[in-house]
Structure 1
Amino acid sequence: MCIIIGSYGGALVEKNYDTKRLLQAVNSSVRTSKEVKDEFRKKGISISGWAVANGYPPNLVYEVINERRNPTRGMTHQIAVRLGLKDGEIVQDLATAINA
């Protein structure tokens, strides 16, 4: 557990944070399209090959990497998260995705 003390609107505020989640947030870095392309080149992997191996249509992966598709939901969201282009979660069961 980590306690952070600061001021907000003139009032002293004390917040308890889960240290593990805080470190994940600090260490998680979203990559740029160029960084993803460079990693494919560095590893000698084709974008098409990665797409097929992960069950995605290659043209859709190219569109996400080249920022021609907005990865808001569905397959484009999954592709962006897996490639590190977007911070997010990949949900397998829609029925339990949002817990009230």
Structure 2
Amino acid sequence: MACRWIGQDLVNSIIFEKMPDTMERLNRSLMACQYKFEAAKLQKKLSGLHELESCVDQSTKDNIKMLPHIAGKLKATFSSVIRENSHLIF
């Protein structure tokens, strides 16, 4: 419904503006897991693969927990844009 009011291009640009931060956060946490795995390999730890799996699992869970916060930020942004453009709705 909001897409019709404020334009699909604007909605897409807002989403793509917010996505890099989210993807950057996920990439950083996964890179940290990779570094831990590489360190475990250098130390010849046998548990390196298990630690990598555990780290990736925790990273995924942490990022899933962030989704409601991200959705809230998007909703707030859309609400603000709709309020600013309410004169165009009717």
TM range (shorter): under 0.3
Q: Which has the higher contact order (CA 8 A, sep 6+)?
A: 2
* TM-score with structure 2 setting the length: 0.27
TM-score scaled to structure 1, two decimals?
0.25
Would you tell me which structure has more strand in proportion to its own residues? 1
Which protein has the bigger helix share?
2
Q: Considering only CA atoms, is the larger Rg found in Structure 1 or Structure 2?
A: 2
